[in-house]
Amino acid sequence: MYQLNNLARQIEKQLPARLVEFMQEAGLVAAAQGQNLYLVGGVVRDLLLGRANLDLDLAVTGNAINLAWRLAGTIPAAKLTPNRHFFTAKLSWENWSVDLATTRSETYARPGALPRVLSASIEEDLFRRDFTINAMAVELIPGRWGEVIDLYGGRDDLEKGLIRILHEDSFIDDATRIWRGLRYEQRLDFKLEPKTLRLLKRDLPMLETISGDRIRHELELALKEELPEKVIRRAANLKVLPEVHPGLKGDDWLARKFEEARQASAPNPPSVELYLALLAYWLTEDQTGKLISYLRLRKSHARTLEESGLLKAELKALAEPALAPSRIYLLLHEYGLPAVTANYLATDSPTIKKHIGLFLTKLRNVKPSLTGRDLAKLGTAPGPQMKEVLRHLLEARLDGKVTSKKGEVEMVEGWKDSIMKSPIFLSLDGRGIKR
């Protein structure tokens, strides 16, 4: 299949009819303007492999933004987002999205820098890409619809299961290709071609030329793979992962916990946030802070890593077998759900896992039936007094001392005399109201 010279049938079979119609219309409009239009990138690779891929990238030998504007005019409620620096545009409508780009060459002022972009031929455009299997194109203009352009041996490498860079300075120009190569290798069950592997090892120091933001992006993409532990393990074995932080490990423990995370999250995949918390679980507080700073993690992800470490340090308090549900709740409810889930997955203590599991499946959703308004009607004054009453009602609910709204009313009525005499309550500790 990899040696097919025309992918017209594969396009019509594997892609939704609406996208096929769009590409046909785009080919007509481009041809009317004297331009050539191509389907490029990973979708061509996946058409040859018979894999699903709806991320369409089109390349035009002309002004991609102008072409995008013309196409947007044919689609009701289309949204166009141009990027004039890179000669690209994103066209979105309904549930579809297509990226258009002018065929171009790229030059790098220094390793790791964003490229300087110049309009160029399709041959040059394909040569600037990361790997041979991603450097193929399909003609989209009438008369040549579906014809494959493979100038650099992409189909041969697909046949052999190889990930191969296009030139010797590829990783020097952009070291994020190291991470991308590992993702493709593990996703497709391919192997890095021997020379590519040698150059990857040689150019590991070039990862230092890449900003933490871009490394974070590549790491997040790795964690969105179907089996991210494969990418992380390979990155660890090739000394790529320590370039992110030397304390990170891609070992059997992590692979096991990632699998448990998928089982716990099914049918949906785990969040990147949860995977990150497990990846960073064994870092110290100081190491975690440095990782957050280097990757410039968004606030929610940074908070999850920090909370996960704090909770890890307090897990011994959950090891008591006869712990009351209200005590379990008190120990866990201030932490975010991803941090609690990470600790649930990470612990090897059956007792701790049982207690955290009870919180996740039941306790965190328990609430008193009575509201502040109900308590006001029962004579409880607003403020600290009402807050304490609600806390004690929650405790009673958690520990099964009351199971209905009627029971809560009776409990509050029983407290009323004590409340009137003293608004000072013990904290939620199971001992009742101070008299």
Tell whether the model's pLDDT for residue 60 goes beyond 60. Answer: yes
φ, ψ dihedrals at 58, nearest 5°: -110, 140
Other Cβ atoms closer than 10 A to 160 = 13
For residue 12, give the amino acid letter: E
CB 148 within 8 A of CB 187: no
What pLDDT, on the 0 to 100 scale, is given for residue 427?
40
Minimum mean pLDDT range among 8-17, 227-236, 237-246, 422-431: 422-431
pLDDT digits (tens, 9 = 90+) for 101-152: 999 877 766 776 666 666 689 999 999 999 999 999 999 999 999 999 999 9
Q: How confident is the model at residue 263 (pLDDT cuts 50, 70, 90)?
A: very high
What pLDDT, on the 0 to 100 scale, is given for residue 265?
94
The CATH H-level (homologous superfamily) assignment of domain 8-161 is Beta Polymerase, domain 2 (3.30.460.10)
pTM higher than the cut 0.75? yes
Residue with more model confidence, 168 or 2? 168
Other Cβ atoms closer than 10 A to 414 = 10
What pLDDT, on the 0 to 100 scale, is given for residue 435?
31
Cα–Cα nearest to 104, from 139, 63, 144: 63
Mean pLDDT calculated for residue range 249-267: 96
Q: How confident is the model at residue 416 (pLDDT cuts 50, 70, 90)?
A: low
Tell whether the model's pLDDT for residue 49 goes beyond 50. Answer: yes
Give Cα separations from 269 to 226, 227, 258, 266, 327 (angstroms).
Answer: 8, 10, 10, 6, 31
Residue with more model confidence, 385 or 164? 164
Mean pLDDT of the residues in the chain: 90
Q: Which two tokens stand for residue 409?
A: 């009313």
Tell whether the model's pLDDT for residue 368 goes beyond 90. Answer: no
Q: What b/e string do you get for 167-189 counting C-beta neighbours within 10 Å, with b at 16 or more?
A: eeebbbbbbbbbbbbbbbbbbbe
Helix ranges (DSSP H) in 161-211: 170-173, 176-188, 194-202
Residues of the chain with CATH 3.30.460.10: 8-161
* Pairing of β 56-60 and β 96-102: parallel
How much of the chain, in percent, has pLDDT values that exceed 90? 74
Tell whether the model's pLDDT for residue 1 goes beyond 60. Answer: no
φ, ψ dihedrals at 382, nearest 5°: -60, 160
Residues 6+ apart with CB under 8 A from 88: 64, 65, 82, 99, 100, 101, 102
For residue 19, give the amino acid letter: L
Tell whether the model's pLDDT for residue 419 goes beyond 60. Answer: no
pLDDT digits (tens, 9 = 90+) for 178-199: 999 999 999 999 999 999 999 9
CA–CA dist 280, 285 (Å, integer): 10
Other Cβ atoms closer than 10 A to 236 = 16
Q: How confident is the model at residue 426 (pLDDT cuts 50, 70, 90)?
A: very low
